[in-house]
Amino acid sequence: MLMPIRCFTCGAVVADKWEEYDKRVNKENENPGKVLDELGVKRYCCRRMFLSNNDLLEEFMESSRK
């Protein structure tokens, strides 16, 4: 699933921060809460968008190639 452009609850734009968040959390093993604080994501509804998002695009692409 791709990152939604806006938060489902408050409508704030969140997709512009996804690449930086993903890079720092998954590749550099930083604390997700600290990364969200540094990116300026303060509302818990917006933080939920990052913490609950599963990037499944690569898995779908691999399964379609078989």
Residues 9, 26: Cα–Cα separation, whole Å: 25
Q: For residue 8, say whether it is annotated as part of any ligand binding site.
A: no
2 is in an annotated binding site: no
- Any known ligand binding at 10? yes
User: Residues 38, 46, 35, CA angle at the centre, nearest 5°?
Assistant: 20
Residue 3 assigned as binding residue: no
Binding residues: 7, 10, 45-46
Binding residues for Zn(2+): 7, 10, 45-46
